[in-house]
Structure 1
Amino acid sequence: MRKKTIAFLAAAMAGLPTWAEGTAAENDSTASRRDLGEVVVTGTRQPAGLDLLPMTVSIVDRGDLTADYRMSVMPTLMEQVPGLMVTSRGVMGYGVSNGGSGGMMLRGVSSGGGQIMVLIDGKPQYSGIYGHSVADSYLTMMADRVEVLRGPASMLYGSNAMGGVVNIISRRMHTDGVHTSLSLGAGSYGTVQAEASNQVRAGRFSSTVAAQFGRSDNHRPDMGFYQYGGYVSLGYDLSGHWNIFADADVTHFGASYPGTVSAPMLEADQWITRGAVAIGVENRYRNTSGRISVYDNFGRHKINDGYAAGSGTPQTRLFRSRDALAGISWYQTASLWQGGNVTLGMDYQHIYGRAFYTSRETGEVLETANKQSGHVHNNEVGVYADIRQDFLRWLSVEAGVRYDRHSATGGEWVPQGGIVVRPTASAEVKAMVSKGFRNPTMRELYLYPPSNEDLRPERMMNYELSWRHRLLGGLLGYGINLFYIKADNIIQTINRKNVNTGKVENSGIEADATFAIDSRWSVTTNHSYLHQARPVVSAPTYKGYIGGSFHSNGVGVHAGLTQVAGLYTAVGSDETKTDFTLLNVTVDYRLCKNVKLWVKGDNLLGQRYEIVAGNPMPKATFMAGVALDF
Structure 2
Amino acid sequence: MRKERMMLCACCLLGAVSMHAQTNRDSPQIAGSYAINEVVVTGARSETDVRHLPMTVSVVGRPQLEAGKQSSVLPVLNAQVPGFFSTSRGVLGYGVSTGASGQMSLRGIGGPAQAGLPTTGLLVLIDGHPQYMGLMGHPIADACQSMMAERVEVLRGPASVLYGSNAMGGVINIVTRKMQGDGVNTNIHLGAGSYGTIQTEATNRVRKGRFSSAVTASYNRTDGHRANMAFEQYGGYLKLGYDFTDNWKLWGDVNITRFNATNPGTVDRPYLDNDQRITRGMTSFALENHYKRTSGALTFFYNWGDHWINDGYQPGSNPLDYRFNSNDQMLGLSWHQSVQLFQGNRATVGVDYFHFGGEAWNRCSDGHRETSANKSLDEVAGYVDFRQDLASWLTFDAGARVDHHSQTGTEFVPQVGLAFHLPQDAEVKAMASKGFRNPTIREMYMFPPQNPDLKPEKLWNYELSFSQHLMEHRLS
Q: What is the aligned counterpart of 1:198 among 204, 207, 222? A: 204
**Which residue identity is paired with 2:400?**
V
Comparing 377-386 with 188-197, greater Cα deviation is found at 188-197
Alignment partner of 1:136: what SS? helix
Q: Give, in angstroms, the shift of residue 423 of structure 1.
A: 2.4
Whole-angstrom distance in 1 between the partners of 2:168 and 2:161: 9
Change (3 A) 1:186 1:106: same
For 1:283-294, what aligned pairs fall within 5 Å after superposition?
A: 283-294=289-300
Comparing 90-99 with 434-443, greater Cα deviation is found at 90-99
Q: Could you tell me whether the CA contact under 8 Å between 2:30 and 2:61 is conserved in 1?
A: no
Whole-angstrom distance in 2 between the partners of 1:113 and 1:67: 27
Whole-angstrom distance in 1 between the partners of 2:165 and 2:436: 6
Partner of 2:355: 350
For 1:521-532, what aligned pairs fall within 5 Å after superposition?
A: none
Q: What is the aligned counterpart of 1:475 among 454, 473, 476? A: 473
Provide the aligned C-alpha RMSD in A: 1.6
Instruction: Provide structure 1 residue ranges, at least 5 long, that are not aligned to the other structure.
Output: 1-29, 479-630
Alignment partner of 1:355: what SS? strand
TM-score (norm 2): 0.90
Partner of 1:320: 325
Greater Cα radius of gyration, structure 1 or 2: 1
Whole-angstrom distance in 2 between the partners of 1:463 and 1:475: 27
Q: Give, in angstroms, the shift of residue 153 of structure 1.
A: 0.6
Partner of 1:526: none
Q: Could you tell me whether the CA contact under 8 Å between 2:29 and 2:62 is conserved in 1?
A: no
Whole-angstrom distance in 2 between the partners of 1:309 and 1:263: 9
**Which residue identity is paired with 1:476?**
R
Alignment partner of 2:213: what SS? strand
**Which residue identity is paired with 1:434?**
S
Partner of 2:389: 390
Whole-angstrom distance in 2 between the partners of 1:38 and 1:425: 16
For 1:336-485, what aligned pairs fall within 5 Å after superposition?
A: 336-360=341-365, 364-367=367-370, 373-424=372-423, 426-472=425-471, 474-478=472-476
Alignment partner of 1:304: what SS? strand
Whole-angstrom distance in 1 between the partners of 2:287 and 2:404: 26
Change (3 A) 1:347 1:451: same
Change (3 A) 1:89 1:75: closer
Alignment partner of 1:161: what SS? coil
**Which residue identity is paired with 2:321?**
T
Partner of 2:88: 88
**Which residue identity is paired with 2:254?**
A
Whole-angstrom distance in 2 between the partners of 1:87 and 1:309: 28
Q: Could you tell me whether the CA contact under 8 Å between 1:128 and 1:353 is conserved in 2?
A: yes
Q: Give, in angstroms, the shift of residue 289 of structure 1.
A: 0.2
Partner of 1:295: 301
Residues 539-581 of structure 1, C-alpha deviations (whole Å, 9 max, x = no match): xxxxxxxxxxxxxxxxxxxxxxxxxxxxxxxxxxxxxxxxxxx
Whole-angstrom distance in 1 between the partners of 2:147 and 2:200: 10
For 1:130-141, what aligned pairs fall within 5 Å after superposition?
A: 130-141=136-147
Q: Give, in angstroms, the shift of residue 91 of structure 1.
A: 3.2
Whole-angstrom distance in 1 between the partners of 2:274 and 2:81: 33
Q: Give, in angstroms, the shift of residue 218 of structure 1.
A: 2.7
Q: Could you tell me whether the CA contact under 8 Å between 1:90 and 1:219 is conserved in 2?
A: no
Q: Give, in angstroms, the shift of residue 193 of structure 1.
A: 1.0
Partner of 1:39: 39
Q: Give, in angstroms, the shift of residue 315 of structure 1.
A: 1.5
Comparing 327-336 with 301-310, greater Cα deviation is found at 301-310
Residues 216-248 of structure 1, C-alpha deviations (whole Å, 9 max, x = no match): 123343331100010000000000110100010
Q: Could you tell me whether the CA contact under 8 Å between 2:403 and 2:410 is conserved in 1?
A: yes
Partner of 2:105: 105
Residue identity over aligned pairs, in percent, reads 51
Does 2:189 align with 1:183? yes
Q: Give, in angstroms, the shift of residue 131 of structure 1.
A: 0.7
Whole-angstrom distance in 2 between the partners of 1:408 and 1:260: 40
Alignment partner of 2:63: what SS? helix
Does 2:269 align with 1:274? no
Change (3 A) 1:267 1:293: same
Q: Could you tell me whether the CA contact under 8 Å between 2:424 and 2:468 is conserved in 1?
A: no
Q: How many residues align?
A: 441
Partner of 1:215: 221
Q: Give, in angstroms, the shift of residue 100 of structure 1.
A: 0.7
For 1:94-173, what aligned pairs fall within 5 Å after superposition?
A: 94-111=94-111, 112-173=118-179
Partner of 1:12: none
Q: Give, in angstroms, the shift of residue 432 of structure 1.
A: 1.0
Whole-angstrom distance in 2 between the partners of 1:331 and 1:375: 32
**Which residue identity is paired with 2:473?**
L
Whole-angstrom distance in 1 between the partners of 2:138 and 2:225: 27
Change (3 A) 1:302 1:31: closer
Q: Could you tell me whether the CA contact under 8 Å between 1:90 and 1:218 is conserved in 2?
A: no
Whole-angstrom distance in 1 between the partners of 2:435 and 2:341: 29
Whole-angstrom distance in 2 between the partners of 1:96 and 1:413: 33
Instruction: Provide structure 2 residue ranges, at least 5 long, that are not aligned to the other structure.
Output: 1-27, 112-117
**Which residue identity is paired with 1:110?**
G
TM-score (norm 1): 0.68
Partner of 1:73: 73
Whole-angstrom distance in 1 between the partners of 2:385 and 2:344: 14
Whole-angstrom distance in 1 between the partners of 2:475 and 2:334: 35
Q: Give, in angstroms, the shift of residue 60 of structure 1.
A: 0.5
Q: Could you tell me whether the CA contact under 8 Å between 1:382 and 1:402 is conserved in 2?
A: yes
Residues 374-423 of structure 1, C-alpha deviations (whole Å, 9 max, x = no match): 11010001110000000121000100000100000001011111101112
Partner of 1:63: 63
Partner of 1:256: 262
Whole-angstrom distance in 2 between the partners of 1:209 and 1:89: 26
Q: Could you tell me whether the CA contact under 8 Å between 1:353 and 1:376 is conserved in 2?
A: yes
Does 2:224 align with 1:235? no
Whole-angstrom distance in 2 between the partners of 1:402 and 1:322: 31
Q: Which has more strand, going by share of residues?
A: 1
Residues 24-77 of structure 1, C-alpha deviations (whole Å, 9 max, x = no match): xxxxxx997442521111100111111111111111100000103221111111
Residues 154-206 of structure 1, C-alpha deviations (whole Å, 9 max, x = no match): 11000011111110000000000011111110113321011111100000000
Change (3 A) 1:248 1:31: closer
Q: Give, in angstroms, the shift of residue 323 of structure 1.
A: 0.4
Q: Could you tell me whether the CA contact under 8 Å between 2:92 and 2:263 is conserved in 1?
A: no
Partner of 2:53: 53
Whole-angstrom distance in 1 between the partners of 2:103 and 2:123: 11
